[in-house]
Amino acid sequence: MGLVIAALSGCLFGAGLLISGMLNPGKVIGFLDVTGSWDPSLAFVMGGGLIMSFVGVLMARNRSAAMDGQKINVPDGQQIDGKLILGAAIFGVGWGLAGICPGPAMAGLGSLALEFFIFMPVLIIGLLAGRFLRGAL
């Protein structure tokens, strides 16, 4: 059951990223370019996504366990620390440079575009470096 859910969820995530325009780095950068000729589309991705995700949060609150019997694992940290802010700031610079974030980086491999195959190994090196840095700081 857990694997069926993972497959369905991955399938919806991949289709949603493609249809919404998130898989197109040029469109993502067009959204970030607020002072230029602005494409507000990604605000609508966020809107549509948040509504469904919020319904999920409400449904999860009324359950003692997930449908496959597993414990519902939600991060409960509330502390705003330097790592969070520094990490998010670095992430944003990278996102603005390339127009690609981790979800579309994976789904984009399915487009067979060369750029995603260049992006992925460097992203993995960055993830491992960031993980090391988080432990060291």
Site for other proteins in 78-107 (CB under 8 A): 78-80, 83-103, 105-107
Q: Minimal distance in Å, beta carbon 15 to other proteins?
A: 5
In whole angstroms, give the CA distance from residue 104 to residue 110: 10
Q: Which amino acid is at 71?
A: K
The residue among 26, 2, 8 whose CA lies nearest residue 100 is 26
Least separation in angstroms between CB 137 and other proteins: 8
Say how many C-beta atoms besides its own lie within 10 A of residue 22's C-beta: 23
117 touches other proteins (CB under 8 A): no
Residue 73, interface with other proteins (CB under 8 A)?
Answer: yes
Say whether residue 60 binds other proteins (CB under 8 A).
yes
Q: How far is the CB of 42 from other proteins (least distance, A)?
A: 7
If one asks whether residue 129 binds other proteins (CB under 8 A), the answer comes out as yes
Tell me the C-alpha distance between 116 and 71, whole Å: 35
Query: One-letter amino acid identity for 91?
Result: F
| Neighbouring C-beta atoms of residue 125, cutoff 10 Å | 10
Tokens representing 63 are: 């359950």
Number of chain residues interacting with other proteins (CB under 8 A): 117
Positions in 19-48 near other proteins (CB under 8 A): 19-27, 29-30, 32-42, 44-48
64 touches other proteins by CB under 8 A: no
Q: Which two tokens stand for residue 1?
A: 């059951």
Q: How far is the CB of 117 from other proteins (least distance, A)?
A: 11
